Amino acid sequence: MSWSQRARASRRILPDGAQSASPARAPLVNTRPRRGGGTSSVKAWARTARRLGCEAHSLCVIQRSQTVNATPVTDNIIQLTRLHFVNAFLVREEDGFTLVDTTVGGGAGKLLAAAGSAGAEIKRIALTHGHGDHVGSLDGLKEKLGGSVEVFLSDLDARIHAGEKVVEGKLPGSWPSIKTAPDVRLAGGERIGSLEVIRTPGHTPGHMAFRDTRDNTLIAGDVYTSYGGLAVSNHFNLRFPLATPATWDKDKDRDSARKLRELEPSLLVVGHGPPVTDPLPAMDRAISRAGGPAATSGAPAAN
């Protein structure tokens, strides 16, 4: 089987109980110089990844305790940043917080302290996807919170973590072993408090985004990154080169980016990078660089 055939096979969803074909090798970071930049940023990220115990082409679970930087981004959402590159979000509801993503391992105590400093408890954990830099502190949080917290994860990514083969071939990115099973498996279209669940496959088979229905703020997970400017994760970004090789299906990721653009968010926050105010022009540019057509303003977007 040729490389292109293996790559296409690795993006096919398998029915329940089906067996995978031979795995496709995950692509490595492209270190060739590009116009307008060199390899220094890639090498710097690779050195950082190795120093933290990760492979250069994926974001792994990092069992280190680090300070959480808390930044309010709206009246209802606080961005929590660890290791200067990975974000989680506290979404305020009447009964407490929904925590979107958990960052890398070793952060449970810091995340709980951040919620306490903001004046409420974490009642729910909603995960954009199953990569280790987003589920890394899930088990630690579950151990501390017990049955008082409800966990949400997409059905496909939950099945992957349960050891089931849901796609042919090898999945890129970090898929650590976790003990915590979700209480609710998401399919898209659900509501978690004020958050609408948006199905956005591509970066992973079951990737989800969350839209705050109160003000149309969009939590996009890893559909986009925003270091050095907004980029779709299917498009190699020299300023943050780790997201693209960890993306499962680049065409689906681009389609999901366009789908999120059609929601016309008032503010865009992502798993890696700062918030993006006035996001629509930046989303249009990112989608164009990713090889997608221009979005149609006001077009409906199905869940």
The pLDDT of residue 202 is above 70: yes
Task: Give the CB-side neighbour count of residue 33, counting CA atoms within 13 A.
Answer: 5
Task: Give the model's pLDDT for residue 37.
Answer: 41
- Give helix 250-261 / helix 279-289 axis angle, nearest 10°: 160
On whether residue 279 sits in a domain, the answer given is yes
How is the beta sheet containing 68-72 ordered, strand by strand?
68-72, 77-82, 86-93, 96-100, 122-126, 150-154, 184-186
On whether residue 41 sits in a domain, the answer given is no
Q: Which helix (H) or strand (E) holds 288?
A: helix 279-289
- Both structure tokens of 8: 């296409």
Residue 96: give the domain boundaries.
Answer: 61-289
Per-residue confidence at 239, pLDDT binned at 50, 70, 90? confident
Interval 143-153 mean pLDDT = 97
Per-residue confidence at 235, pLDDT binned at 50, 70, 90? confident
Q: How far does the chain reach from its first CA to its final CA, in angstroms?
A: 35
On whether residue 171 sits in a domain, the answer given is yes
CB 171 within 8 A of CB 99: no
The pLDDT of residue 25 is above 70: no
Q: Which helix (H) or strand (E) holds 283?
A: helix 279-289
Which CATH number is 206's domain given? Answer: 3.60.15.10
- Both structure tokens of 105: 């391992």
On whether residue 168 sits in a domain, the answer given is yes
On whether residue 156 sits in a domain, the answer given is yes
The pLDDT of residue 247 is above 50: yes
Q: What is the CA radius of gyration of the chain?
A: 18
Give the chain's domain count: 1
Local structure of residue 58 (DSSP, 8 states): S
DSSP 193-244: TTEEEEE--SSSTT-EEEEETTTTEEE-TTSEE-TTS-EETTS--TTSTTTT
Task: Give the model's pLDDT for residue 12.
Answer: 52
On whether residue 32 sits in a domain, the answer given is no
The pLDDT of residue 61 is above 50: no
Interval 112-123 mean pLDDT = 98
Per-residue confidence at 56, pLDDT binned at 50, 70, 90? very low
Per-residue confidence at 238, pLDDT binned at 50, 70, 90? confident
Q: Measure the CA–CA gap between 165 and 21, rounded to whole angstroms.
A: 10
| Alpha helices per DSSP H over 118-173 | 132-135, 138-145, 155-161
On whether residue 228 sits in a domain, the answer given is yes
pTM: predicted TM-score of the whole model, two decimal places: 0.79
On whether residue 124 sits in a domain, the answer given is yes
